[in-house]
Amino acid sequence: MTELRMPSLGADMEFGTLVQWRVKPGAAVKRGDVVAEVETQKGVFEIDIREDAIVSELLVAEGSRVKVGAPMAVLVPAGVRAPDERPAAAPPSVRPVMKAAPPIPVVRLDGATVPSGTPPHRPRASPLARRVAAELGIDLSAVPGTGDGGVITRSDVEQAATSAASATPPVAAMRPIEVSPKPPAATAGMREAIAAAMARSKREIPHYYLSEDVELSPAMNWLNTTNAARPVPERILPAAMLLKGVARALTRFPELNGYFVSNTFQPSAQVHLGVAITLRGGGLVAPAIHDADRLSVTELMAALADLVRRARQGGLRSSEITDPTITVTNLGEEGVRTVYGVITPPQVAIVGFGSIDERPWAEDGLIGARPVVTVSLSADHRVSDGWRGARFLRELRRLLGTPEEL
């Protein structure tokens, strides 16, 4: 048995419609006889038979649409008895099966929608500027662009990296660290980013606030004694002690150290303290001192000084920007007693220090003047509660009271 298949008559023929059979089952046909009429987009063609045969069965009804290569009739080639099986005719078409293509959906483009949880502003910078900024660890949003249309070019990035600022050494008291002036327009992007982050923080994070006054005379005595024995460049600022105290306290209060992401709190095994550094011109960065709990106070001081210097020069590493597990801020220099900070998402707490002032202090029934600092904690109530927050502050106070063990 062989089959009569719908022939391909052209490269773009996919189907043929059987208009009419010219033979009936049982008819004997000879090579070249016309057995059917088929209509295509080009017109009607006569289909002839390849070899002498008897038409055994017609498989397709008149009027049917048949794909090229599909069988239309069964034939018994002449000289072969009907019961005999003969190998099938030519192998099936190698053309891929053509399915009706699904209609192409029409995509309507709405006006640009700003996704909620605004991503940080993406500065316009040339590919080269981006590459160089990444290599040098520069935050592009802090770089003024002087290229065509305000684009940040490589030289702008290099300029930012090497911009000479008058080196202001860290001050004895806690002061906001400042960097050399930049044109106001330069921090517009940064301002926008801060605004977005703060707005989101207040929208999403249920803050609770606690504060505690810590008497620092043991700490300050230890500091002065330690510093007296050291050359000036190696001396420690009070800030380093306070940071160390926070870092160690956090190891016992993991619910204040980590990230709240996708409705889940992920505590961090490491303590990366984000230190808030203000920039003149209205910017703020809070890069991390990594593993602050593992550093000695001396090491922490060195890390802090280096961080401040690099924040001033624009040499921060991206990991320092992204890694803080908690932020510490102090505005003591500005004279405020208490700082109620806003948590930087995805962190879950922020510790604030006010100024270290001489205040009246009652102890053992006696009143004296002591150095006192007010420590505040703003924390995410989804993750911790006031009771735990209070215990954290108590621990911090205890640690600061034994400075030699920090």
Partner 1 sequence: MTAVESAVTPRVETATPQVVAMTYREAVREAIRAAMRQDSRVFLMGEDVGRYGGTYAVSHGLLDEFGPERVRDTPLSESAFVGMGIGAALGGMRPIVEVMTVNFSLLAADQIVNGAATMLHMSGGQFNVPLVIRMATGAGRQLAAQHSHSLEGWYAHIPGIRVLAPATIEDARGMLPSALDDPDPVLIFEHATLYNIEGQLAAGAGAVPIDRAAVRREGRDVSLIAYGGMLRTAIAAAEQLEASGVSAEVIDLRVLRPLDDDTILASVRKTHRAVVIDEAWRSGSLAAEVSARIMEGAFYELDAPVARVCAAEVPIPYPRHLEQYALPRVETIVETVQRMTTHAG
Partner 2 sequence: MSANEHDLALLEAMIRIRRFEERCADLYKEEKIRGFLHLYIGEEAIAVGVMQALTPADAVVSTYREHGHALARGIDMNRVMAEMYGKATGTSGGRGGSMHLFDAPSRFYGGTAIVGEQLPMAAGLALADKMQGRPVVTACFFGDGAVAEGEFHETMNLAALWKLPVLFCCENNRYAMGTAIERAQSETDLALKAAAYRMPAWPVDGMDVKAVDSAARRAAESIRAGEGPHFIEFRTYRFRAHSMFDPELYRSKDEVEQWRRRDPILLFSERLRRESALDDTALEAIEKRVAAEIEAAVAFAEASEWEPVESLTRHVTTLAAP
The 3 state secondary structure assigned to 140-172 is: HHHCCCCCHHHCECHHHHHHHHHCCCCCCCCCC
Residue 7 touches partner 2, criterion: CB under 8 A: yes
Residue 124 touches partner 1, criterion: CB under 8 A: no
Q: How far is the CB of 146 from partner 1 (least distance, A)?
A: 4
Q: How far is the CB of 56 from partner 2 (least distance, A)?
A: 20
Q: Which stretch binds partner 1 (CB under 8 A): 146-154, 177-185, 293-301, 313-321?
A: 146-154
Interface residue with partner 2 among 69, 137, 282, 401 (CB under 8 A) is 69
- Rounded to whole angstroms, the Cα distance separating 137 from 134 reads 5
**Based on the number of CB atoms within 10 Å of its own CB, is 209 exposed (0-12), middle (13-18) or buried (19 or more)?**
middle
123 or 274, CB closer to partner 1?
A: 123
Residue 181 touches partner 2, criterion: CB under 8 A: no
- Rounded to whole angstroms, the Cα distance separating 326 from 286 reads 10
10 or 386, CB closer to partner 2?
A: 10
Interface residue with partner 1 among 41, 155, 221, 224 (CB under 8 A) is 155
Name which of residues 216 to 245 contact partner 2 (CB under 8 A): none
Residue 210 touches partner 2, criterion: CB under 8 A: no
Residue 26 touches partner 2, criterion: CB under 8 A: no
Residue 398 touches partner 2, criterion: CB under 8 A: no
Residue 356 touches partner 1, criterion: CB under 8 A: no
Residue 154 touches partner 1, criterion: CB under 8 A: yes
Residue 70 touches partner 2, criterion: CB under 8 A: no
Residue 1 touches partner 2, criterion: CB under 8 A: no
User: Considering CB distances under 5 to 8 angstroms, the limit depending on partner class, which of partner 2, partner 1, none binds residue 45?
Assistant: partner 2
User: Considering CB distances under 5 to 8 angstroms, the limit depending on partner class, which of partner 2, partner 1, none binds residue 158?
Assistant: partner 1
Q: How far is the CB of 257 from partner 2 (least distance, A)?
A: 57
- Residue 337 near residue 280, CB atoms below 8 Å: no
Which tokens belong to 15? Answer: 């189907």
- Rounded to whole angstroms, the Cα distance separating 62 from 345 reads 73
Q: Which of 405, 404, 399, 376 is CA-nearest to residue 245?
A: 399
Residue 156 touches partner 1, criterion: CB under 8 A: yes
Interface residue with partner 2 among 20, 25, 34, 42 (CB under 8 A) is 42
38 or 250, CB closer to partner 2?
A: 38
Interface residue with partner 2 among 21, 45, 253, 260 (CB under 8 A) is 45
Interface residue with partner 2 among 3, 9, 120, 333 (CB under 8 A) is 9
User: Considering CB distances under 5 to 8 angstroms, the limit depending on partner class, which of partner 2, partner 1, none binds residue 95?
Assistant: partner 2
Residue 95 touches partner 2, criterion: CB under 8 A: yes
Name which of residues 61 to 100 contact partner 1 (CB under 8 A): none
Residue 94 touches partner 2, criterion: CB under 8 A: yes
40 or 64, CB closer to partner 2?
A: 40
Residue 8 touches partner 2, criterion: CB under 8 A: yes
Residues that bind partner 1 (CB under 8 A): 126-129, 131, 146-148, 151, 153-156, 158-159
Residues that bind partner 2 (CB under 8 A): 5, 7-13, 40, 42-45, 50, 68-69, 90, 93-95
